Every structure is written in C-alpha cells, then in structure tokens.
Amino acid sequence: MYISPDQFPLYLAGVLAGVALTIVLLSVTGKRSKYIAMGLSTAGFAFAITFIVLQALGYFGTVQNNPTSSSLFATDWVSYIFGVAVLLVALLVGLTAVDYFSDVIGTDVTTFYALLVFTTIGTLLLIFSANLLMMFVAWEMMSIPSYVLTGFKKKDPASNEAAVKYFVISAFSSAVLLYGISLIYLLTGNLSIYQIVRLMPNGMTVSGMTNFQPIGLLALTFFVAGFGIKLAAVPFHMWIPDAYQGAPTIVSALLSTATKGATFAPAIRVLFVMFSSSTFQPDWTLTFAVLSVLSMTLGNFAALTQKSVTRILAYSSIGQAGYILIGVAAGGQLGLTGSFFHILNYATMQSCAFLAAALIIKNVGSDNLDSFNGIGKRVAVAPMALTLSLLALGGFPPLSGFWSKFVLFLSAFQSTSNLSWLAIVAIINSFVSIAFYVRIVKHMYLDEGNSTTKLVETNGFKASLILASAIIVGTGIYPGPLIEFATEAARSFMSEISSTQLIERLAFILHSL
C-alpha cells in the first residue's frame, strides 16, 4: 500500500477522527458505555502509533517527503518522534480516564474520550504542519477541546476557573501567533515554512519595503510569545500553576506534555527553518538563554515551598521548559538533539508523575503534600511510579532524564557562543530541583500518615503507570535508540554531521571525561 508522505497526516487524522465521531455517535444514540469509548480511543491511539512507526519504517513507500515542496505537511523524523510521544501520552491518559472520573458526579466520560481524541488530532496535525495557516488551524483544533477538558469537572469551581484562565491566555497566544503569521505573509507573500526561508531575501519586493528586518523581528517576537505560552516558558507561564492545579489531574498530564511537545515541533520548524534565511538570521542565542534561565530558576525556586503536589509539578513543568530552551539557545545539531531528546523523555516522566499523583489525589481527596504522607505503605504502584518519574525529572542516573539533561548541558558547554555559564546555572538549578522532587518522595515513604488503610489501584491506572515507568527505566538503561531518533530529527534542520558521527562525538566526550 502506498501513501504519499504529503497526505500521510491526513490519513492519520482521518482514522482518529473516525474514532472520535464513533464515540460521539455512540454517546448520542444513548449507548454511553465508557468502556467502549475507552477501548475505541486507546485502540485508535495504539493504531496511530503503529501507523506512524510503519510509515517511519518505509512500509508505505517514501519515508520522508521533500520539505521544500508546497505540501501542507512535513512528514519527517521530527513529526514521527513527536507524534509517537504525543500519542503515547494520550494513550496513558486514555487508560486512566474511566477510573479517574468514576466518582465525579455530573461527568460523562464518553464525551471526555471524544474530546481527548479530538485534541490529539489537533496536536498531531500541529506536529506535522509545514504551512503557517495549517499550523494555526491545528493550533486551534488542539486548543479548543483542551479548554473543555480543563473544565471537565463541571461542578468544581477550581476546574472552571482553570478553564477560563487557560482560555483567556490561550486566546492571547492565538492572537499573537496570528499576528506573527500575518507579518510574515506581509513580508513574503507565502505561508509555507519551507518556502519562506528562500523567499525572505525577496520579501522587499512583495511589499515594496526596503527595510524588512524590524518587521521580521516583530514577527519572531510574536511567534516566540505565542509558542511560549504553551511551552510554559517564563514570562508566559502565569496561567500554568493555576490551570494545572484546577484542571482534572489527568488533563494536567495531557496539557503539560502532549500540548507542550506538540508546540515544540512547529516552534522549531519556525525558528530553525523559517527564520534561518540567509538575509534574515537574527541571533537569538542570548534571548533564549535569558528565557531559559528565567524559566528554570523561577520554576525550580517557586516549587520549593509549594504545599500542593500538582502545583509542584506545574512549576516543575516550567523549570523543565527552561532546560529544553537550553538546546534552542545553544543551537547546532547537538543543541537540537538535546532539546528533542529531553522533550521526549519529559513527556513520559511528567505525564507519569501527573498520572500517579492523580491516582493518589483521587483516593486521598486532596493534593496537599501532607496528605501524601505514608502513601508508600498504603498502595504499591502509584508511589513507586511517582518516585521513579520524579527522580528521572531530577536527573538521577540511570533514569531517562539524566541522559537528555546531560546532552543538553553538554550542548551548552560545546556551543560556539560560549554558553558555559548557562550550563552551570542549569546544573545549579538541577540541584535545587532535587530538593522538591525528593521532598514528595520523602512524604510518601518516610513520613507517617494518619491512615494505613489500603487504597484501591484500578487496572487502568496500573497499566498506564507501569507502562510509563518501564519506558523511564528502559530508556534510561538503554538510551541509544532515543538518542539516535533525536539526532535524526535534529538532522532535518542542521546536517552539520551525520548521526553516527554525532554519537561518536558524544562517546568521545564521555570517554574523555
């Protein structure tokens, strides 16, 4: 069977849209079986993952399309790895939703699944999009269902407040993004990311302007601000703690990983393709370095004294965004590899942490740190998974987070722009972050709780958490393939050296340590 790489994302979206519509139809016809919805959606995600893997293996013909074509989509390694990561998170969340909402009054889990699949379609299209308009449409397709998901606990004021805050700030991000797109169109008369890069020098002729650079810079600003909101980068992070805390915790898992990962892919395309034209090449190294330092410092320090586990995780999400931006600041193949690698690891670590926390919060009825006391004795899988994911987020070897942080810090040290100071700030931040990551572990295992009754761990949660933990440990012990994928993806933007050469260089650096 041959599928044109230009149309591959449409097939993908089509299949998932079918799943979503079936769930909606079931819901409308009154057959509101949440288990059928869960089965359909998780099967749909699993199928989509397989579909992407098969495409990446060349099963449907050409592996990659020509990114300079006028196609709406870029079917390349970036799309593959981010697509799989996002689908994986959606799968993890999908496995837990039935259990999570089992005792929330006034919710219809079937609808939840429909919305989950819809937002996943948006994220996938966003990842694949190579056209600014397509990107914007996908952006909205991703955002709108996610507002509803955030406010899914209809009777819970916190959930409603979170949804409204998220919606308002998101509206701003859409607005500035659209403004940025319009400025680019003004300059080049084109919307295809891979064509704009060649058109940039001719931008003057389209609008008759002789000095296009201030406008280009403004457009860049708007893109960064717009993406920054979903990436949780300081100073565009303000909505994050409130929204993550108020939203149903499993939705926070989705927002903090799938949405963020899906935003990162087009952000990198815009930055490293669209803005890398020979005449318009702004040096953003220090700007991103500042954003990175602000994000990780604020995220990590603010998390130190939080009393709520979800807020700690929310700030952790901001801090991790800071690490990811190191790679963008450092640039180069190593920097991008580090960013890609870290965001892939981050997706499993952070979603695993949120999901494990979700189970505990649902059972003890509070996300207060003190209510986590002695959980380690009351239930087996969730605290274990939470511990693993927190340690991985903190960068403990040999868990997955260690390796990607290592590559990121290395990229800063190796950067031609002399970013050693950034790496050192990041390392100090890593130390600080361990304090609050381990604090949660301490509360769970070392502190005595009020109650010792055993908690119920449902199978959906168990499956989801064990799967995520296995990935964290597995990719930690054997990070090779992930590094290779990340390198391959980075090569779409910077083919300074081949992936084997890069790995050899990494090996050499490790060796000389």
Partner 1 sequence: MSILGSCTDLIPNLVWIVPIAGGALSVLGARFGGAVRNAIAVGSGLVAALLATSLFFISDFSNYTLTGKILDDYTICGTQATWIQALNLKAGVLVDPLTAVLAVTVSWVSFLILFYSLGYMKGERNLTRYYFLMTFFIGNMLLLVMSDNFLQLFLGWEGVGYCSYALIGFWHSDESRYWVGTLGEKTAGVPESYSPSQAGLKAFIMTRAGDVAFLAGILIIFAYSGTFNFMQLSVDLGAKSNWATNLMSVGLFVPAAFLIFGGAIGKSAQFPLHEWLPDAMAGPTSVSALIHAATMVNAGVFLVGTVGPLFVQAANSLNIVYPFFATVAAIGAFTALLAASQAMVLDELKKVLAYSTVSQIGYMMLGLGVAGLSTKGNFSFGFTAGFFHLMSQALFKAALFMCAGWLIHVTGSKYMSEMGGLGRSMKITFYTMLVVALSLSGIFPLSGFWSKESILSAALQAGGISDIFYIIGIVAALMTAFYSMRMIGLIFTGDKSSNVKALEEKGGHIHEAPPTMWVPYALLAIATVALGIIAPIFFQQRLGSLFSAYLRNFGIPSPYSFSILSDIVPLSIGLAVAIVGVLIGYLAYVRRSINPKTVVASGPLTLGAYRFFHHRWYINAFYYKVFVYPVVSGANWLYRNFEEKVIDPINIGAPEFGGDASDLLRKIQTGIEEEYVFAFAAGIVMLIILLAIFAHL
Q: Would you tell me which residues interact with partner 1 (CB under 8 A)?
A: 164-165, 168-169, 172, 176, 213, 217-218, 220-222, 224-225, 228-229, 234-236, 238-239, 241-242, 280-287, 290, 298, 301-306, 432, 435, 480, 503, 506-507, 510-511
Give 285 or 469: the residue with its C-beta nearer to partner 1.
285
Give 427 or 510: the residue with its C-beta nearer to partner 1.
510
126 token code pair: 């966003």
Q: How far is the CB of 430 from partner 1 (least distance, A)?
A: 14
Give 340 or 436: the residue with its C-beta nearer to partner 1.
436
Give 50 or 500: the residue with its C-beta nearer to partner 1.
500
Distance CA 160, CA 254 (A): 17
227-250 CB burial, b ≥16 within 10 A, e <16:
bbbbbbbbebbebbbbbbbbbbbb
Q: How far is the CB of 112 from partner 1 (least distance, A)?
A: 25
Q: How far is the CB of 234 from partner 1 (least distance, A)?
A: 8
Q: How far is the CB of 54 from partner 1 (least distance, A)?
A: 27
Whether 180 and 222 have beta carbons less than 8 Å apart is answered as yes
106 to each of 111, 145, 153, how far by Cα in Å? 12, 18, 8
Give 225 or 309: the residue with its C-beta nearer to partner 1.
225
Q: How far is the CB of 478 from partner 1 (least distance, A)?
A: 9
Whether 412 and 419 have beta carbons less than 8 Å apart is answered as yes
257-271 CB burial, b ≥16 within 10 A, e <16:
bbbbbbbbbbbbbbb
Q: How far is the CB of 143 from partner 1 (least distance, A)?
A: 16
Query: Could you tell me which of 106, 361, 126, 367 has the C-alpha nearest to residue 227?
Result: 126
Long-range contact set of residues 376-382: C-beta below 8 Å, sequence gap at least 24: 376/444, 376/445, 377/449, 377/452, 378/449, 378/451, 378/452, 378/453, 378/454, 378/455, 379/454, 379/455, 379/457, 380/457, 381/356, 381/457, 381/461, 381/462, 381/465, 381/466, 382/356, 382/457, 382/461, 382/465
Distance CA 3, CA 314 (A): 40
Number of neighbouring beta carbons within 10 Å of residue 64? 16
**Does residue 1 sit in helix, strand or coil?**
coil
Give 51 or 236: the residue with its C-beta nearer to partner 1.
236
Q: How far is the CB of 16 from partner 1 (least distance, A)?
A: 32
Distance CA 441, CA 292 (A): 27
Residue 232: strand pairing partners: none
Give 382 or 483: the residue with its C-beta nearer to partner 1.
483
Give 128 or 437: the residue with its C-beta nearer to partner 1.
437
Q: Classify residue 4 by burial, with Cβ atoms within 10 Å: 0-12, 13-18, 19+.
A: middle
Give 280 or 354: the residue with its C-beta nearer to partner 1.
280
Give 446 or 507: the residue with its C-beta nearer to partner 1.
507
Amino acid at 385: A
Q: How far is the CB of 241 from partner 1 (least distance, A)?
A: 6
Q: How far is the CB of 157 from partner 1 (least distance, A)?
A: 13
Q: How far is the CB of 145 from partner 1 (least distance, A)?
A: 21
Query: Could you tell me which of 64, 186, 176 has the C-alpha nearest to residue 130?
Result: 64
Distance CA 429, CA 435 (A): 10
